[in-house]
Structure 1
Amino acid sequence: MSDFISNIPFLNNAKSGKNSIWRYLITMFLSLFVASLVAGVLLGALIVIWAIFNQTALHQNFDMGIIYQLLQNPIFLIFLVGLSFSLSFFFLGLSLKVLHKKKFISVINTGNKVRWSRIGKGAIYWFVILAALDLISYIIDPGSFKISFNLQNNFWILALLALIAFPIQASFEEVFFRGYLMQGISLVFKKPWVVLLVTSLIFSLLHWWNGSTIVLSLSIVSGTFIIGLMLGIIALADNGIEMAIGVHIINNIYVSVIHSSPDGGLGNLPSLVVSPSDPYAAPLFLILAAVVLIYLLFRNRKEDVLRIFKG
C-alpha cells in the first residue's frame, strides 16, 4: 500500500483495509457482471412462468411475442434497472466487507455517517438548473416540446418505479465510480485530476450502448463524461459523494419522468414532456449546467475545488 498522502482527504480513505488488485477485479466482476447476470436469470424465469400461466389461462398456445413485447417495454426496463442495481449494491457491500475489510462509509465520505442533507441539496440545485434550461429551450423552440401527460397512460406506474429504481441505481453508481473506483485508482495515479479524468472516462464509455445511433451514442458518451467530471469534482471538493448522489438521482428521475426523449436509452416513456434529443447541443447545455452547479455549490469554497487541480 502506498504511503503517499493526497491533498484530498476522501481519497486517503483508500489506504484502509486490503487493496490487492485481485480484490478490485473480483469486486468489479461481481458488482457489474454477476449482479446483472443474476438479475437477468431471475427476471427471465419469472417472465417465462408468467407467460406460460397467462397463455394457459387464456387457452392459447405459448407465444414468444408476448415476452418480446415485455422486454421492449421501457417501464419493464426500469424495473430491471432497480433489480439489477440492488444486486450490484449487495455484491459491492459484500466485497467491501469480506475482500477489502473496509467500512462501507469509507467510500461515501471521511466521517462516520451519511450526510443526508447534502443529498437533498444536490438534488434541489440540479432540479432547478434542469428546469431553468428546459424553460429557456421552450422559449427558444416551443414547437419541439410535446406535453404527453395523460391520466390514462402509464405515467403513475413510471413515476412510482422511477422513484424506487433510480435512487438505487444512481446511489450505486456514485458509490462505485466516485467512491470505490476513484479511491482505488488514486492508489495508482497520485494526482486527483488524473483520477477524476480516468473515472469519468470509464463511466462515460459504459453508457455507449444507450444511444440508438452512432451519433447519439457519441453524444451520450460525451454528455456522461461531462456529468462524470461534474460529479467527480463535487465528490472530491466536498470529501464525500452525498451531493453527487443527490444530483445523479434527480437527473435520472427528471430525464425519465419529467422530460424524456424517445431516442434515449429507455425509449418511449409516458413522461410529462417529450422532445427529440439534439445530439449536438446537448453536451453544450450540460457544460453550462455543470459550471453553474459547481459555482452555486462551492461559490464560498473555491479553494476546495482548486485543490483538485493543484495536486
Structure 2
Amino acid sequence: MYLEQVKKFTANPILYFIFPISFIGLIAANYVASEGVDTNELLQQMINSVGVNGAFIMLIAPLSVGIFAIWFWVKFIQGQSIKSLTTSRAKVDWKRIFFSFSLWSLITIGMTLLAYYSTPEDFVWNFNPQKFAIFFLIAIILIPLQTSFEEYLFRGNFLQGLALVTKSRLVPLLITSILFGLMHIANPEVGKIGLIIMVYYIGTGLFLGILTIMDEGLELALGFHAANNLVGALLVTADWTAFQTHSILKDVSEPSAGFEIIFPVLIVFPLLLLLFSKVYKWKNWKEKLTGPLEINKGAEI
C-alpha cells in the first residue's frame, strides 16, 4: 500500500520533513517579504524586461528543477526508491498517468470552448503561430516537471512522512491539502480575486490527495496536474494570472469569485473521483481515507 510501504525503509522520520518544510518556509518568507507589493505590477515589469517567455521561464524553472532535487533527496538521503515514492504497484503505471492527463485535457478544452462560445466578449484571439510554437516547446518541457515536483513533494514525500509519524490517513491528507493551497497564496490571482480563491486551491489539493490515497499511487495525480497547468497555459492567459503566456486566447473579463471557484470543487472533482473509482474499482473509502495505519519503524525522531 502507498502509505504503509514507508515502513520498509530505515531513514530517520525527520528526513521526510526537511525538504517540504524548507520549501514551504521559503514560500512563506517570500510572501511576507512581498506583503504590500502589487505582484501583478511586478510580473508586468518582469515581462517588460525579459519578455513573456523569459518571465515564464524565470518563474517556473526553479520548480521544474526542483523535481530532480527531491528525487536526489529521497533516493540518496532518505534511502528510499523513487518507485516507492511514486506508487505501491510493482512498477509505475504510465497508462494511469496518460489516462488522467488525456481525460482532464479533454474536459479543460471542452470547458474553454463552452466559455468562449457562451461569452465571446470575455475573450480576444491571442494566437501568434511563431510565438505559440516557441512557448509550446518551453511549456511541454517545464510544466510537467513543475507539476511533478509539486506532486512528489506534497502527495509523495510529505504525505508519506506525515503518515509515518501520525499513523493516520486523514491527518496527512488534510495537512498536505491545506499547505498545498496556501503555497499559492502569493499568486497574482489571490490579489485580484481575494482569499476566497484559496477554496479552489485547497480543494484541488484535497482532490489530488484523495486520488493518491484511494489509487495507492501518484499516477492519476501526476497526469491530472500536468494537464491542468499545461493545457490551461496553452489555451488561455490573462493579465492577472501567475502564468502569462503566448496562449491561443486571452481572457479580458473582470475576474470574480463565485461559480468558477465553487463549480470545480463541489461538482467536477467529485464526479471525477466517482469516474476514477468506477474505472479502477476503488473500495473501502472510509477505511482508506480515515482509518489508522499500521506502521512500525525502528528509527525515531
TM-score, scaled to structure 2? 0.79
Q: Is 2:12 the counterpart of 1:20? A: yes
Give the letter aligned to residue 175 of structure 1: Y
CA offsets per residue over residues 96-153 of structure 1, 9 Å max, x none?
123211111111001342111111000111112222322333344232122211235x
Do residues 78 (structure 1) and 70 (structure 2) align?
no
Q: Distance in 2 between matches of 1:82 and 1:147?
A: 25
Q: Is the 8 A contact 1:13 1:107 kept in 2?
A: no
Q: Secondary structure of 1:209's partner?
A: coil
2: CA distance between counterparts of 1:194 and 1:133?
A: 33
Which one of 95, 101, 109 corresponds to residue 117 of structure 1?
95
Unaligned runs of 5+ in 1: 1-8, 35-66
Q: Is the counterpart of residue 180 in structure 1 residue 181 in structure 2?
A: no
Larger mean CA deviation between 78-87 and 198-207 belongs to: 78-87
Residue 129, structure 1, aligned to residue 107, structure 2: yes
Distance 1:173 1:160, change over 3 A: same
Equivalences for residues 151-162 of structure 1 within 5 A: 151=129, 154-162=131-139
Q: Is the 8 A contact 1:30 1:92 kept in 2?
A: no
Find the aligned partners of 2:65 and 2:21 in 1 and give their Cα distance: 12
1:214 to 1:233, Cα distance in 2 relative to 1, 3 A: same
Which letter does structure 1 place at the counterpart of 2:193?
L
Q: Aligned residue for 1:101? A: 79
CA distance in 2, matches of 1:304, 1:135: 37
Decide whether the 8 Å contact of 1:127 with 1:254 is kept in 2.
yes
Per-residue CA deviations over 1:198-229 (Å, capped at 9, x if unaligned) read: 10101010111112553535244221211111
Aligned counterpart, 2:250: 274
Aligned-pair identity in percent equals: 26
* 1:10 aligns with one of 2, 19, 23: 2
Q: How does 1:1-311 map to 2 (within 5 A)?
A: 9-28=1-20, 73-81=51-59, 83-151=61-129, 154-212=131-189, 214=191, 216-267=193-244, 269-275=245-251, 276=253, 277-287=255-265, 288-299=267-278, 301-303=281-283, 305-311=285-291
Q: Deviations over 1:72-102 (max 9, x none)?
A: 6342233235532343222212221232111
Letter in 2 for 1:135: L
May I ask how many residue pairs the two structures share in their alignment? 269
* Residues 29 and 252 of structure 1: CA distance in aligned 2, closer, same or farther (over 3 Å): same
On the 8 A contact 2:65/2:146 being kept in 1, the answer is: no
Who is 2:296 aligned against? Answer: none
Gaps of 5+ in 2: 27-44, 292-301
- What is the alpha-carbon distance in structure 1 between the residues aligned to residue 166 and residue 222 of structure 2? 24
Question: Which AA in structure 2 matches 1:138?
Answer: Y
RMSD: 2.6
- Identify if the C-alpha distance between structure 1 residues 68 and 227 changes in structure 2 by more than 3 Å, giving closer, same or farther: closer
1:265/1:304 Cα in 2 relative to 1: closer, same or farther (>3 Å)?
Answer: farther
For 2:232 and 2:144, how far apart are their aligned partners in 1?
13
Q: Which amino acid aligns with 2:20?
A: M
Contact 2:24-2:183 at 8 Å conserved across structures? no
- Provide closer, same or farther for how the CA distance between residues 229 and 33 of structure 1 changes in structure 2, counting only shifts above 3 A: closer
- Distance in 2 (CA, whole Å) between partners of 1:261 and 1:306 is 40
**Within 1, Cα distance between the matches of 2:269 and 2:207?**
6
Contact kept? 2:17, 2:158, Cα under 8 Å: no
Tell me: higher relative CO, structure 1 or 2? Use CA pairs within 8 A at least 6 residues apart.
2
With normalisation by structure 1, the TM-score equals 0.77
Q: How far is 1:32 from its partner?
A: 6.9
1:211–1:217: 8 Å Cα contact kept in structure 2?
Answer: no
Q: Which deviates the most, 83-92 or 203-212?
A: 83-92
